[in-house]
Amino acid sequence: MEGLEVTVLLGLTILAGTLLAPRIRVALPLVLVVFGLLLGFVPQLREVQLPPETVLLLFLPVMLFWESLTTSLRSIRRDFRYILPMSTLLVVASAFAVAGVGVLFGMPWEIALILGAAVAPPDATAVAALGRLLPRRMFMKLKAESLTNDGTALVLYAIAISLAVGGDVTPLSITWTVLVSYVGGVLAGAVIAALAYLLLRRSTSTAVINVTLLLVPFTAFLLAEIMHASGVLAVVVAGLVIAYVSPRITTASSRRQSEAAFPFGVYLLNGALFVLIGLEVQYVVHEISAAAVGRLVLITLGVWVALLAVRYLFQLLSAVVRRPTDARPPRSLAARVRLLSTFAGMRGAVSLAIALSIPVEIGGEGRDEVVVVTAGVILLSLLVQGPLLPAVVRWAKLPVDTAEVEEYELAERTISGAALAALDDLAAEHGVGQEILDRVRSEGYLMLEYANARALAREQAAVDAEASALDAMLDEPDPYGGGSAGLELVEQREDAVDGSSLQIIATSTAVDVAQRSPLIRHEEHTRLKLALLDRKREVLLGLRRSGTVDDVVVRRISARLDLEQVRLQGIEEFD
């Protein structure tokens, strides 16, 4: 098929999946994989191939960069002792366990190790697409693990390929490969991020900023490849650095544009990958003989079970060797957490790209077997673990995690209070009259009262929920009546912000039109509001530096502040 026809077909399939998935209450990636499998029954469509270089060099950098930008740095620092062994030692253990299964079913050792390297790492895009139901901290840990484990898998893959082609592999060469891959990947990502920082430090053009940011993942990947280092790790490091310095090198307008464009682009790339995975599975299955299908199905099932078992056992052993000073949850809860984390580790397009990258000199039959088993493991991961994940989450009955909501409310109250405290000084600095100062102060107090009321409403709702559950158990009415007072307060506050304050401003008789024109008052109001936004951002970043609030919370509040600034200033026009 022609490229345009394939593009239109992929777009229509993604559109159909987007429309269907909410109606049948199934995750979109699962629907798209099934669509790909169904499309693969058409011989002409089955010939649509998924070039591995397309995934590794075009799809993967963008998706990994976006996942890095939206990852919590505080979570990585806090859970680094968990993430590091899971993204290195667990990948090695999984690869050798899979290789053992392959050898048991008659695969050559070198080919089995290539298979292990391909399917060992959970995929960041699959985790991001299907892991949203997990508790926030577990989701961030799994996401950080999935962002960094591809580097380990690719090092194992390079070693396995050297063994398969008869290369000289020694402990010294393995150590050198690992060092170059990791150290080179970190350096490449840091260098590209530093160059982007220097370039954008004084730029205010939305086009310049976002084109530069789009080039960062590809440039980091390219530099790492030139150094024979891990391009995946380079992209992740560059993304984490850019995420931290973003408030100092981007503008409100550029952030609003990129935060609309990047998720949409990643959404399309993810959708196309899942459809192409289904097509690729059909292609490789039709390429092998019918006699070999049964054996490969058994290998696939054995590899899938081995991956789940090794992941669970590795977490169990890690818990045993944990330092006594670490906080330990109850044993029953810890077991449920390990099982949930095991089920959430899903394989995706990166595994298939590694399998498809096997050189032709390895041997056609061995390569086809690796591709078939890898594709089968991906399908089992997506079509079995994915649909069962919500049920496992409900079964685990993990404690409700309200830390993000509490931090969001704390940050909102803190930055609003700090802005009000600095209001007089900012008004004097920017030459703002008393009328505008009083108006902005009134708006600020209304917003602060709204933030306080929202926090009280959430706390009241939690208390009411516990009381309702207790009443249901005791079959008694609530002696305190309904629990909607806090919510009504919020609604009243919203009415006050949306209606009362506007009406007061509109009917005020204290406007001295003869002395200060509406244009001057509007300009003063805009200057003061922008100064307050700058003050709020300064306090918000201080909360992030101190670790009081998470990066995810900072992103949410920053997005709201950016929207307000764009409303005040307008969207930058492109030349």
Report the percentage of the chain scoring pLDDT > 70: 86
Contacts of 388 (CB under 8 A, 6+ apart): 343
Task: Say whether 503 sits in a helix, a strand or coil.
Answer: helix
Tell which wins on pLDDT, 536 or 52. Answer: 536
The two tokens of residue 484 are: 């909607």
Checking if the pLDDT of 2 tops 70, the result is no
Q: Place 27 in a pLDDT band, splitting at 50, 70 and 90.
A: confident
Tens-place pLDDT, residues 382-392:
888 888 888 88
What domains can be seen in the chain, in order of their start residue? 51-396 (1.20.1530.20), 403-569 (no CATH)
Tens-place pLDDT, residues 203-262:
888 899 999 999 999 999 999 999 988 888 899 999 999 999 998 899 998 998 898 888
Checking if the pLDDT of 370 tops 60, the result is yes
Mean pLDDT in residue range 20-46: 86
Tell which wins on pLDDT, 445 or 536. Answer: 536
Reported pTM: 0.79
| Dist. CA 30–CA 37, nearest whole Å | 11
Give yes or no for a contact between 117 and 98, defined as CB atoms under 8 angstroms apart.
no
Tens-place pLDDT, residues 407-425:
888 898 899 888 888 888 8
Q: Place 573 in a pLDDT band, splitting at 50, 70 and 90.
A: very low
Tens-place pLDDT, residues 100-122:
999 999 888 889 999 999 999 98
**Backbone angles phi and psi of 468, in degrees to 5:** -65, -40
Q: Place 480 in a pLDDT band, splitting at 50, 70 and 90.
A: very low
pLDDT of residue 444: 78
| Dist. CA 213–CA 486, nearest whole Å | 43
User: Per 3-state DSSP, what percentage of the chain is helix, strand, and coil (rounded to 5)?
Assistant: 80, 0, 20
Helix runs in 40-123, H state only: 43-46, 52-54, 60-69, 73-78, 80-87, 89-104, 109-119
pLDDT of residue 1: 57
Give yes or no for a contact between 568 and 529, defined as CB atoms under 8 angstroms apart.
yes
